A and B are shown apart, each in its own frame.
Chain A
C-alpha cells in the first residue's frame, strides 16, 4: 500500500487553521479565567460553615465529574434550546468548558486550602487581619502556589478537550479541520497538521503558565522547591 502525502493542497487553508487555533486559544483563555474564579469560589463553599453551601458545591462537583463532557455540551446547547434558552454556539461551548473545568478546579483548590496549617490561620487572625484578608493573604495565596502545577495541567487538558465542542460546530481548531478535510479529502494530512497545531498550542499554554507562575510565586522562583 502506497500513500502519497500531499500537504500542498492544505496550504491554501492556512488562514482557516490559524483562525481555528486562535478561537481555541480564546476559548481556553476565557474558560481558564472564569473556571479559576468558579474553582476558588467552589473550594471556599466546600469548606464553608453553612451546610447548604457545602452541599450545593459538592453536588456541582460530583455532577460534573461523573458525566461525559459531550453530554454537558449537548445539554447546554440542545437541551436548553428546547426549553427556549438559546445561546450562540461559542457562548455555549465556553460555558460548558467553564462549568466543566470549574468543578475540577474546585477540587484542586480545595486540596490546596486544606493543606494550609490551621495554626497559620489562627496566627493571622491573632494579628488582627480581617476574614477576607486572612482568606486572600494566608489561605488562597499559598494554596494556589501549592496546587499551581496541578491547576495548569488541568487547564491544558481543558484546552485539548475543547476539541469536543466541534460537535456543536463551535468554530475552533477541530471543527475547522473537519471542514477542511471534507473539502480537500486529505484527512490524513489535515489531522497531522491539526495535531501539530494542538502541540504548538500546548507548548504555548505551558510556557505562558510557567511565566505567569514565575511572576506570581516569587518564593517558588527563588527557591525552586514546592511549598
Chain B
C-alpha cells in the first residue's frame, strides 16, 4: 500500500518549549489512524504540521510524495490534498451551507455553477444534511455545523483527512451523529488521521492507534492495544479517560 503521510523524527518548538520531540509515524492509503494522549502532549501540533499550519524545526514530513518542509513547497497544492476539520467547526458565518462548501472548489479549482452546486449536494449527502443546503451556520446545531465542516473538506476531494477533536465541543447527544459520519468515511476508504478523546470510537473505527506522550509517539498498535496497554503511561492515561 502506498504511503500517504510520513513523519520522520519531527521536532517542533514554540519558543523554548519543545512540543514535538522526534515524532515518527506513517499512514498508508485507506488507513484510519487515531491519535490519543493527554492534553498538551502535542497531538494538535502534529496534525497542524502535516498541512503546514505550523512549521517544523527539523525532521521531515511527506504528504503524497511532497516534502512539506521544503522551501519551494507548493503550499496551496499541499492543502488541496489535505483536508482538516477543527474542534470549533470554523464555518464562514456570512455564507450559506452551500456557499461554505463551494467557496474553495470555485476559487481554487475553478469549478463552475451547476457543477459546483452538484458538488455541494454530493458532499451534503455524505454527511446526511441535504435539507440544510440553504441554511446559515447560525441556524444549525453544533453537530450539524461540524458535519457541514466535514462536507466542506470533502468537496475538495482531499487524499487524506485530518480531524482534531471534532466532537469535543459537542453535547454528548450530538457526538454520535458526527462520529457516524466519520465511520462511514472510514469504511468508504478515506485515509484519516484523527485526534480524539473518544476511546470507544478510536477502538472501533481506527485501524491503528497512536498514543502520544510528552511530544513523542509513546505506544502504537491496533485498537486492541487500548485493552492491553504496555506502558505505565498509557495505562495511567486510559484509567483517567474512563
**Chain A residues with a Cβ under 8 A of chain B:** 117, 119-120, 122-130, 133, 137-138, 141-142, 145, 217, 219, 222-223, 225, 227
Whole-angstrom distance between the alpha carbons of A122 and B82 in the complex? 13
Whole-angstrom distance between the alpha carbons of A125 and B107 in the complex? 12
| B152 close to chain A: CB less than 8 A | yes
Hey, what's the 0/1 contact readout for B84-105 against A, CB within 8 Å counting as 1? Answer: 1010101111111000000110
Question: Are A128 and B108 interface neighbours, CB within 8 A?
Answer: yes
Residues of A within 8 A of B139 (CB): 223
Question: Are B82 and A126 interface neighbours, CB within 8 A?
Answer: yes
Question: Are B103 and A120 interface neighbours, CB within 8 A?
Answer: no
Min C-beta distance of B119 to chain A, whole Å: 13
Interface contacts beyond A129-B76, A222-B136, A223-B139: sample of 16 additional A-B pairs, CB < 8 Å, sorted by A: A117-B88, A117-B90, A119-B88, A119-B90, A123-B149, A124-B92, A126-B53, A126-B83, A127-B153, A128-B79, A128-B108, A129-B107, A137-B92, A138-B92, A142-B94, A217-B94
Question: Are B84 and A126 interface neighbours, CB within 8 A?
Answer: yes
| B8 close to chain A: CB less than 8 A | no
Interface size class of B (residues with CB under 8 A): 20 to 34
Min C-beta distance of A85 to chain B, whole Å: 43
Asked, given contacts A127-B104, A137-B103, whether A223 binds B136 with beta carbons under 8 Å apart, the answer is yes
| B205 close to chain A: CB less than 8 A | no
Question: Are B94 and A119 interface neighbours, CB within 8 A?
Answer: no
Task: Report the nearest A residue to B77, measured CB to CB.
Answer: A128
Min C-beta distance of B51 to chain A, whole Å: 6
Whole-angstrom distance between the alpha carbons of A99 and B149 in the complex? 42
| B156 close to chain A: CB less than 8 A | yes
Interface residues of B in 143-190 (CB under 8 A from A): 149, 152-153, 156
Residues of A within 8 A of B91 (CB): 120, 123
Asked, given contacts A122-B86, A137-B107, A219-B136, whether A127 binds B94 with beta carbons under 8 Å apart, the answer is no
Whole-angstrom distance between the alpha carbons of A140 and B104 in the complex? 16
Question: Are A127 and B103 interface neighbours, CB within 8 A?
Answer: yes
Task: Report the nearest A residue to B84, measured CB to CB.
Answer: A126
Question: Are B136 and A145 interface neighbours, CB within 8 A?
Answer: no
Residues of B within 8 A of A130 (CB): 76, 108
